[in-house]
A and B are shown apart, each in its own frame.
Chain A
């Protein structure tokens, strides 16, 4: 990495010249703005950043960033990002995907990119609907969602993005929302700093086809009761009066009122670095109204990344066999000479 002083970049330095085509009021605008802000704080050269996306509203993202960008095909962004990172390990590679792109058509690639722990940052804009194809239900749509393809309401269970990421052995798992700019910026910065694959679910409002689906956690009046913001080393508390918390009864979590049901000491303290994924998984299952929904870094463990391990194997091979010699390769078998 360059040791010379980097020019200080401002958020607007990350804006491309392209006209933004999302619908007015779309949650994507806020994510784009916070991304530019987050990147401008990283002290990282712009030319070493690349955005890779699939297909869907969210996947237009790379066109609006003045970095390297690759708008690929439906569901496959993690594969292109993996190849790019392998070829250019110095790059900071972001994947922008949505609930349809990343969890339906591209579910397989997402799982494998995460388990491989290749150093890419995956942002899943979850709006629980297909926007670009004009309003079909998605794999994260709640049961009963009425859409063009589920006129009487959907009957199949949604997938929970964080649960899936944890099951896929992701080393960094977080959730944030489009309408909390500070939390969003901070979460993006945290993801950028993680070495290995990072997975961030972003609740994103689709103004046109699923407006207000996350209102219960984004609206001021209900936010503090329905959203729990996790902080490493701090007790899991939430609520308008900051007096509700999470207590574990064996492996069963329960919501308690501090001072009434128990003392603050009985509330679980969040440890994002714990190797055992059980608590992270429990948090990924918290759904309103029974539980507050968890925001922040749910899991952050350190493990060598795939690209690092590949580089190490290459270095080992080089040390053991010496630099590849074509003649030696050709002759690596029984030879005979014709006079």
Chain B
């Protein structure tokens, strides 16, 4: 928490710190996600930089009080520029023994531990598999333990609201939230307004939650549970208007923005799957933007509908996670073959198979790259942060429509659910997206259509432009009637063709077309040292941890550069040049080394991987160690 005591802080018992990482942990039913989200909103509006990490179990309601049912929400808020939700916790709020047991290891030595002491009865301890009460056996003496009888105090606070005991207890997350608002000098207004908007119609619940929040705050104030309050000043951020955004929100908005600016209808078809469903939820509420959504019968139908819509001249989009990509593979191959614009969003999670549905991983890169039969290249982009999902969604639509090629967006559970401040974009500064459709015959260059013998001007569905892109003719256009399909076709006419040489020509053409995308994407930018001993290479949602680790290493005097790939197929055209400037290469990935494989194969660099597959993001400290390690070796 790197404290910088201000001169007057002693008298006012306020200590100024640069950043705080806090985690709310409790049972799935305890409302920890809500408490964390509220704390985040209030901190963002206060002007702190923020990064969040919601972490919830795969089961919606595992048996109450058990280790399997613990749900957590971590918020890192700071007066400086931050990129990660924080490695270690300065403050941990636990609502029961199970939450204590599963989260304590992340609390820094001497950190603040707020404990709901009412939930440490014999039965609670048993469910959390404690044989002795940790509040009494001295095991917590390395922390600043704040014991608060939250259940009792909360029930007392709401007793006049006429709620059942069970409903009264449901307010206790607000009591805990009020307490930490006091501790970290957060105002309550935002949350009071939220309660009012949410429970406006249920007066008793509205009143109870309001009282709980205030009671928690006042309890902190009057009892002075801590000798100090902490203050985190506003962050120095680029001037502008900001909001908080999660990756899935940014993704949905990016899609709608691109389709609106391109003046195209967006058809989105998805099948419910964690952690991608939110994108469908968001878009279902955007019909007034010309968005059509459909919840399909399965993953295959979802992509089929998107491809059918793309054939129909709309922007066809589907979103899923790894298991869904497996099911969609054959249809994506068809979209490659028929050269239709399709956007496939993969919000990656731990695999294989059902794997770790609510945890993050980056292990679908090779699936996106190669997971289809035949030579079947697609374009791949990957956002590096929650807000970047907006830009990459936009970019995916740009690539798909400009190149008539399926384009993957590889997001992940961590950035999809995590949040950060997001500057409201200036519409006039967004890149333009222009989509053109042919309206008449195109066979002017002397190519003949078999059907066209004697007819002046026919339509050649596979006649290509200088980037090797075929025209996107919309069914309904008179004179352009044509057939497409999954069987190999003759270039130009698109007629079924089984000739081996033609097939090879088409395979190469499809590959070259994807390679041509590199002509339209920005160069790779080196951050940190522009040449030197070590280049740290990343992609996707790990940007924040890698950037922070590289900054710290450089502060220690190490000569380290960083590149982060947002375009993974094709790679930016200056990639080989960038690699020439460095001696060693470290590729941290939340998989067993997938970008590592691609870069070693394509660029023949002696790169080393740093790999983690624990369903959790990198800690900055892990990466710092890895950087120092490779430089010493």
Q: Looking at the complex, which one of B260, B298, B308 makes contact with A84 (CB distance below 8 Å)? A: B308
Cβ of A108: which chain B residues have Cβ within 8 Å of it?
297-298, 301
- Using CB atoms, name the residue of chain A closest to B287: A317
Determine whether the beta carbon of A88 is less than 8 Å from that of B476.
yes
Tell me if B496 and A80 are in contact (CB < 8 A): no
Q: Determine if A71 and B487 form an interchain contact, defined as CB atoms under 8 angstroms apart.
A: yes
What residues of A have a CB within 8 angstroms of the CB of B45 in the complex? 334-336
Give the residues in chain B near A87, CB-CB below 8 Å.
265, 267, 292, 308-314, 316
Contact B242 A336 (CB under 8 A): yes
Does any Cβ of B come within 8 Å of A232's Cβ?
Answer: no
Q: Which of A48, A310, A330 contacts B476 (CB 8 A)?
A: A48
Interface residues of B in 240-268 (CB under 8 A from A): 240-245, 253, 256-257, 260, 265, 267
Is the CB–CB distance between A70 and B242 below 8 Å?
no
CB-based contact B313/A72 at 8 Å: no
**Residue B200 CB within 8 A of the other chain:** no
Check A79–B300 contact: CB distance below 8 A: yes
Write the nearest CB–CB distance from A13 to chain B, whole angstroms: 10
Most chain A CB within a 10 A radius of its CB, from B234, B301, B487:
B301
Binds A, one of B171-179, B478-486, B584-592: B478-486
B239, B309, B477: the one within 8 Å of A47 (CB): B477
For this complex, into which size category does the number of interface residues on chain A fall? 35 or more
A5 at the interface (CB under 8 A from B): no
B307-342 to A contact mask, C-beta < 8 Å, 1/0: 111111110100000000000001101100010000
What's the Cα separation between A197 and B46 when bound, in Å? 55
B240 A338 Cβ-Cβ under 8 A = yes
- Chain A window 307-335, contacts with chain B (Cβ cutoff 8 Å), 1 for yes, 0 for no: 00010011001101111101101110111
> B599: shortest Cβ distance to chain A, in Å?
33
A71 touches B483 (CB 8 A): yes
Taking the closest CB of chain B, its distance from the CB of A323, in whole angstroms, is 6
Distance in angstroms between the alpha carbons of A337 and B45 in the assembled complex? 8
Name A60-83 residues within 8 Å CB distance of B. Answer: 62-63, 65-73, 76, 78-83
- What is the minimal beta-carbon distance from B355 to any residue of chain A, in angstroms? 24
- Chain B residues with CB under 8 Å of A323's CB are 288
> How far, in whole Å, are A84 and B237 apart by their CA atoms in the complex?
46
Q: A334 near B308 (CB under 8 angstroms)?
A: no
How long is the Cα–Cα vector from A62 to B485 in the complex, in angstroms?
A: 9
Cα A52 to Cα B265 with chains together (Å): 21
**Contact indicator A329/B312 (Cβ below 8 Å):** no
A70 touching B308 in the complex, CB below 8 Å, given contacts A16-B451, A47-B481, A326-B427: yes
Does A146 touch B at the CB level, under 8 Å? no
A50-B495 Cα distance, complex, nearest whole Å: 17
Tell me, in angstroms, the Cα distance from A316 to B425 when the chains sit together: 28
- B425 touching A330, Cβ below 8 Å: yes
From 274 to 294 in chain B, residues with beta carbon under 8 angstroms from any chain A beta carbon are 286-292, 294
Q: Cβ of B297: which chain A residues have Cβ within 8 Å of it?
A: 108-109, 111-112
Query: Beyond A63-B496, A76-B300, A90-B476, is A84–B312 a contact (Cβ under 8 Å)?
Result: yes
Nearest CB in chain A: distance from B9 CB, A: 25
A264 is an interface residue with CB less than 8 A from chain B:
no
A46 interfacial contact with B, CB 8 Å: yes
User: Across the interface, which residues of A come within 8 angstroms of B308, CB to CB?
Assistant: 52, 70, 79-87
- Per a CB cutoff under 8 Å, which of B238, B243, B316, B479 touches A334? B243
In the complex, the answer to whether A63 meets B309 with C-beta atoms within 8 Å is no
6 inter-chain pairs at a CB distance below 8 angstroms, sorted by A residue, are A88-B312, A88-B476, A324-B290, A333-B244, A334-B44, A335-B45
Could you list which residues of chain A lie within 8 angstroms of chain B, going by C-beta atoms? 16-18, 45-48, 50, 52, 62-63, 65-73, 76, 78-88, 90-91, 108-109, 111-112, 310, 313-314, 317-318, 320-324, 326-327, 329-331, 333-339
What would 17 more interface pairs be, CB under 8 Å, given A76-B331, A313-B287?
A68-B476, A69-B484, A73-B331, A76-B300, A79-B301, A80-B311, A82-B304, A83-B308, A83-B312, A86-B314, A87-B316, A109-B300, A109-B301, A324-B286, A327-B424, A330-B243, A338-B47
Chain B contact residues, CB within 8 Å of chain A:
41, 44-47, 190, 234, 237-245, 253, 256-257, 260, 265, 267, 269, 286-292, 294, 296-298, 300-314, 316, 330-331, 333-334, 338, 424-425, 427, 449-451, 474-487, 495-496
